[in-house]
Structure 1
Amino acid sequence: MKRRIVAVGAALLVLVGCAGNAASGGAKSPATSLSVSGPWRAWAATLSSQEAHGSCGATAHQVVCATDVGGFVGRSRADGRITWTVPAGGHGKNIGLALDAADERAVTAVAGVLRAANLRTGTQAWTHQLPTGRTYLALGAAEGVVYALEASDPFTHAPVLDAIRASDGTPLWHRTVAWMTGEHLTAFRGRVYTADGTRVTARDARTGVTVATSPTGVECPHLVTGGHYLVCTGSPYSAGDTFAPMRRLDPATLRPLPTPRNTADKPVRGVISDNGILVLYEAGAEDTGAGNWFAYDLEKDRRLWSTYATEADATVADGRFVTFTPRNDRAARDRVITIDLHAGPQATGTAAPRMSAAYSQTRGGEYPLVFAPGGDTGHVVVMARTHGSLRSLPLP
């Protein structure tokens, strides 16, 4: 599940703790508070096993992790130390982490329990418990609303999309939806979008009423989103050798717009910048362990550049594409690399690619994730999953 990293505008009040209270089910939040201010700094921190098996993200003021059993851990942007914890409240495995900037909330779900933490105070904000037999499947958050998809059995019963006010947990509406397992919930500009592997549906964020559906002739196995853009590609879960045409959709009408070209290989994952640069990882259908990142300008309807890669995570920060060097590049592996979104990997001068030093967290064997804190922090954070740890480093 691709993460939506968002910024919190005001300085956050967080609770001071010590590393020993990280994320264990019986952990208690410390009682004193401290205003955290100042720039991001470079640091490395070890994660507890519960954090490492959960999900992490960042605001402009802190790193936040949702543990695998539904707790929360807040970490300082200055040194990575734990500043607050919210103990776990359920049993199961979390389905991800959603961060909402408008109301300073972190949200996660385990089985049938949806929980929110207050990013300012480091305390539990609210919780929702589904009836017995129902479970949460996917999460999203935008513009002060949390979206949670839930069902008793997604293979035999249509899922229900719940909209919940992020600030206090007030239910706003719920609607039965068509949804494809593994697809994201995407919301922006007063609409929430769902995809069922064939069509895309847009609903009004205030009411849940359907306002647009993609045409029946537009095949949409997988929806890539970012900025205010929607792009249909072939499914990363497909076992076939041919893939649906890549199509950009109009967010208002969901009708197709001009799109640079069809993908040649299997689309695996992608990111889209706020100004409409799509960077899509494409690989052979039988082995996605090596392929190429292809950059497309969605506004000017053209392909920009490509670069070889081994399957890796990526994000966009400060007008640059951020990913990891190929694992089989002996001269420059195990590094974060940034590429100018328009100029590409062959650029020179100030637009030339830039690399970090090699770190334990950026090794291919760690299956690292990279995310950019919201705001102009000048840093990215790498999460190592094999040996759980985080590293904050200046954006190369």
Structure 2
Amino acid sequence: MSGPWRSWATGLSAGEAAGACGATAHQVVCATNTGGLVGRSRADGRVSWSVAAHDHGKSAGLVVDAAGERAVTGVAGVLRAANLRTGATAWTHRLPSGDTSILGAADGVVYALGVTDATSSTALLDAVRASDGTSLWRRTVSWERGEPLAAFRGRVYTADGTQVTARDARTGATVAKSPAGVPCQHLVSGGHYLVCTGSPFSAGDTFPPMRRLDPATLRPLPTPRNTIDKPVRGLISDDGVLVLYEAGAEDTSAGNWNAYDLVAGRKLWSTYTTETDAAMAGGRFVTFTPVNDRARRGRVLTIDLHGGPQATGGAAPGMSLPYAQTRDGEHPLLVVPGGDARHVLVMARTHASLRSLPLP
């Protein structure tokens, strides 16, 4: 964990490749599909500590609370936390649902969504204190399976495919619901922004308009007009730039990343893409070059959030060299460290490995 961020590549265990990886300003953390956790050095990627576990189930992912010095994962209804500095097991917490589907964290609280019945439209939302695993509250919520949860500024938000519900982070009490006349098939969040889009799983040819919601009241706010294409997924920066991947309704393997300024209420730029992972880092949008671009494929691409792909000078797009981990066949995922690391991590799932490289 000591030393600055450097360029390196290292192999991952099969369990890590089937789980998830994250990073703070000081280290890399990976969760396994058995519920274990592995800490790695930011200087060379070597294992600094590990927490073994032997659960079996689908990984709910990983949340890393740098301020609280905790890494938390969930498998088979068991939340497990490690101390980021020492790697010691901080706590374990068994959920009554027996399943952990989605994790989230904010302000020292870890949230877990789990279902007891795969056919049910409800889930159990648990709030657990990140420092010691103490259960704070539990609520039965309406939920569209797979929908993300969002948490910030003392509230936690869930969506059921039609409506968004806000709850108080301290008590779990419902404090707001989005209006019935504002469809919210899919919730995109980032910074302190909430945006409703059409469902990426819809089989139709038309989609409801994109709508920004007021986090306090969940009422609609003025929103830039989106294209007629199918919204697949999106990210929102801390300063309110939404970058939304939109593609043809029948084939989402290729489309465009469209950037919208939610504050100014206008579209900023657009760039062609094939379906790949994406992230935000250092005021830039980070993704991979299109698979069918033979001259440039297999590279990490960065675009200034406000300047776009046509920007020049210091805001001009950046592009990495090609690496084994950035090839499309590796199904690469991006991991962005916290703080001003000026590095990005690429996780390759096909041939389990991880690479740290300077942010282009």
TM superposition score normalised by structure 1: 0.89
Contact kept? 1:226, 1:272, Cα under 8 Å: yes
1:45 alignment partner AA: T
How far 1:92 sits from its partner (Å)? Answer: 1.9
- Partner of 2:101: helix, strand, or coil? strand
User: Counterparts in 2 of 1:105-144, with a 5 A limit?
Assistant: 105-131=70-96, 134-144=98-108
Amino acid at match of 1:282: E
The answer to whether 1:332 aligns with 2:293 is no
Give the 5 Å matches for 1:273-312: 273-312=237-276
Check whether the contact 1:101–1:143 (CA below 8 A) recurs between aligned residues.
no
Q: How does 1:167-186 map to 2 (within 5 A)?
A: 167-186=131-150
| 1:154 CA displacement | 4.4
Residue of structure 2 equivalent to 1:71? 36
Give the whole-Å Cα distance in 2 for the aligned partners of 1:179 and 1:357.
42
What are the equivalent positions in structure 2 for 1:313-332 lying under 5 Å apart? 313-332=277-296
Amino acid at match of 2:219: R
Distance across 2 between alignment mates of 1:384 and 1:338 = 19
Distance 2:240 2:298 in 1: 29
Matched, 1:361 2:325: yes
Is the aligned partner of 1:159 residue 2:118?
A: no
CA contact (8 A) 2:33 2:56 kept: no
Count of residues in Structure 1 that have an aligned counterpart in Structure 2: 360
Measure, in 2, the Cα distance between the counterparts of 1:108 and 1:239. Answer: 33
Q: CA RMSD in A?
A: 1.2
Give unpaired runs (5+ residues) of structure 1: 1-35
Q: How big is each residue's C-alpha offset from its partner over 1:12-66, in whole Å with a ceiling of 9 and x where there is no partner?
A: xxxxxxxxxxxxxxxxxxxxxxxx3332111001111111111111111111111
Cα deviation digits, residues 161-205 of structure 1 (max 9, x gap): 110000000110111111111111110000000000000001110
1:93 to partner: Cα distance: 2.3
Question: 1:229-244 alignment to 2 at 5 Å?
Answer: 229-244=193-208
Distance 2:54 2:350 in 1: 25
**Alpha-carbon distance in structure 2 between the residues aligned to 1:314 and 1:187:** 21
Aligned to 1:343: 307
- Which string of whole-angstrom CA distances, capped at 9 and with x for unpartnered residues, describes residues 211-257 of structure 1? 11100000000001111100000111111111111000011110001
User: What is the SS of the residue equivalent to 2:15?
Assistant: helix
2-structure distance, mates of 1:352, 1:135: 45
1:180–1:196 contact (8 Å) kept in structure 2: yes
Moved runs in structure 1, 4+ residues, more than 3 A? none
Residues of 2 paired with 1:263 and 1:177: CA distance? 32
TM-score by length of 2: 0.98
Letter in 1 for 2:38: V
**Which amino acid in 2 is paired with 1:118?**
N
Distance in 1 (CA, whole Å) between partners of 2:77 and 2:261 is: 41
Letter aligned with residue 51 of structure 2: V
Following superposition of structure 1 onto structure 2, how do residues 142-291 of structure 1 map, counting pairs within 5 Å? 142-156=106-120, 158-291=122-255
Offset of 1:69 from its aligned partner? 1.0
Pairwise CA distance, 1:262 = 3.0
The question of 1:372 aligning with 2:340 is answered no
How far apart are 1:157 and its partner, in Å? 6.5
- 2 CA distance for matches of 1:300 and 1:130? 43
CA contact 2:332–2:349 (8 Å) conserved in 1? yes
SS at match of 2:314: helix
2:4 maps to what in 1?
Answer: 39
Alignment check: 8 A CA contact 1:134 1:153 kept: no
Secondary structure of 2:269's counterpart equals strand
Give me the whole-angstrom Cα distance separating, in 2, the residues matched to 1:211 and 1:193. Answer: 10
Alignment partner, residue 59 of structure 1: 24
